[in-house]
Structure 1
Amino acid sequence: MDINTKTAIITGASSGIGTAFSSALIEQGATVYGLARSTNKLKKIQEKLGKQFIPVTLDITDYKAVEQWIDNTFSEQNLPDILINNAGLGRFGEVDKLSVEDWESMIKTNLSGTFYMTRQLVPLMKENESVCHIINIASIAGKIGNPQLTGYNASKFGVRGFSEALFKEVRYDGIKVTCFYPGSIATDFFKQVDMDTHPNMMQPGDVADVLVNILQTPDNFLINDITMRPLNPKPPSEQ
């Protein structure tokens, strides 16, 4: 895919790798609809990235709102090329102490939100004469279960299964599907679970570079999943 002039939708665009993805795609000439719930954060990103970044205040767990925005934004004259389902959250804890609210928040954001966006955008991508690409951001937690991650693991294993089934379903419609399984990335995600970032974590810009490389593969070349980790994941203080 030649990213120049393409139209991308990125959820969770107000921070972390979502912002890095937006920046990387705009550098390649794409127009990015950046979705998040924080209007102020999105506006600040637009001030930095310019008019090619279009801020969209949207809660992806609200299916009707997602449907309405897509219906009002896209048409035969404005078809999407790239969807990056990046929005996600983590709530960790032992299964008998994990609240129902935290469980449902993870499932709705990490899994249902991915389905809501994809379900509405796939028909538009099928109308696109160019090859399109859907990127789902799972986690290494979508491959490996660990204690105190039952809810997070369940949501990310769900993204893994959804992605594998989806790639087989839409490949003959000219739509690529790739699932990312990143290990620890130095973002604000870890503040959600009271953990500190450190220099040995992967950097958002490096993950964004991988994204660009995968999007730029030839049209009949598909990388359907990719795992990435820090070579040395330990904090420098533990060396």
Structure 2
Amino acid sequence: MDRKTCLITGASSGIGESLARLLIKDRWFVVGIARRTEKLEKLKEELGSNFLPITCDVSKSENIKNSSDFLKKQNIIPNLFFLNAGCGEIEDKFHTNIHRKTFETNYFGVINRIEEWIHHNSLATFAVISSLVAMHATPHASAYCASKAALKSCFQSLKSNILTVAQSLSP
């Protein structure tokens, strides 16, 4: 039987860290992706050999490519991707730079990771964390709200496309 392997972005804290702990208890091998090396290393000490920490800034496509290439060379092929890393800040004034930074992490960080893997493992499952603000925007968070709405729309479209292709292949 193939090993159950999950890649989690944002694994150094919050939802990502909690999920890593739960999956390891359930005998998964977890690839933990995050920017903060020291937090990942501390988790590795706690979680043991079923946790592989990889430092990666998901807002940088070259970091995503390099970490994906490393895993492929090691023949570590996740069958579950939990794309959770995100950022957001309270906006006192409107700045396009805040939008760029937020979209690089919250939106492009997700779709760049998927692009690296979707053709490499056709049976993989991609789980993406959005937010209620994707449907109901809150004040002073236009960049965060817009990035989560973009994710929601992207995955609704991908789901429709994947279902259409699967149905056309059915006998």
Q: Same fold (TM over 0.5)?
A: yes
TM-score, normalised to structure 2, is 0.88
Question: CA offset at residue 145 of structure 1?
Answer: 1.4
Distance 1:34 1:172, change over 3 A: farther
- 2:118/2:124 contact within 8 Å kept: no
CA RMSD of aligned residues (A): 2.2
**CA shift at 1:75, angstroms?**
6.0
TM-score (norm 1): 0.64
Letter in 2 for 1:142: A
User: Are 2:71 and 2:77, in contact at CA under 8 Å, matched by a contact in 1?
Assistant: no
Gap change, CA 1:172 and 1:132, over 3 Å in 2: farther
Equivalent position of 2:109 in the other structure: 113
The one-letter amino acid paired with 2:107 is L
- Tell me by how many angstroms 1:50 deviates: 1.2
More helix by share: 2
Map 1:86-97 onto structure 2 (within 5 A): 86-94=84-92, 97=93
Runs (4 or more) in structure 1 with deviation over 4 Å come to: 171-174
CA distance in 1, matches of 2:85, 2:76: 23
Q: Is there any run of 5+ residues in structure 2 with no aligned partner, and where?
A: 167-171
Supply the AA of the counterpart residue of 2:146: A
| Native 8 Å contact 1:9 1:33 kept in 2 | yes
Between the aligned partners of 1:7 and 1:171, the Cα distance in structure 2 is: 24
Instruction: Please give the alpha-carbon distance, in whole angstroms, between the structure 1 residues aligned to 2:24 and 2:36.
Output: 20
SS of the aligned residue for 1:147 comes to coil
**Residue type of the partner of 2:133?**
A
Task: Name structure 1 gaps, 5 residues minimum.
Answer: 175-239
Query: What's the % identity of the aligned pairs?
Result: 28
Pairwise CA distance, 1:77: 4.8
Supply the AA of the counterpart residue of 2:128: N
SS of aligned partner of 1:56: strand
1:45 is matched with which residue? Answer: 43
Is the alpha carbon distance of 1:46 and 1:77 closer, same or farther for their aligned partners in structure 2, counting shifts above 3 Å? closer
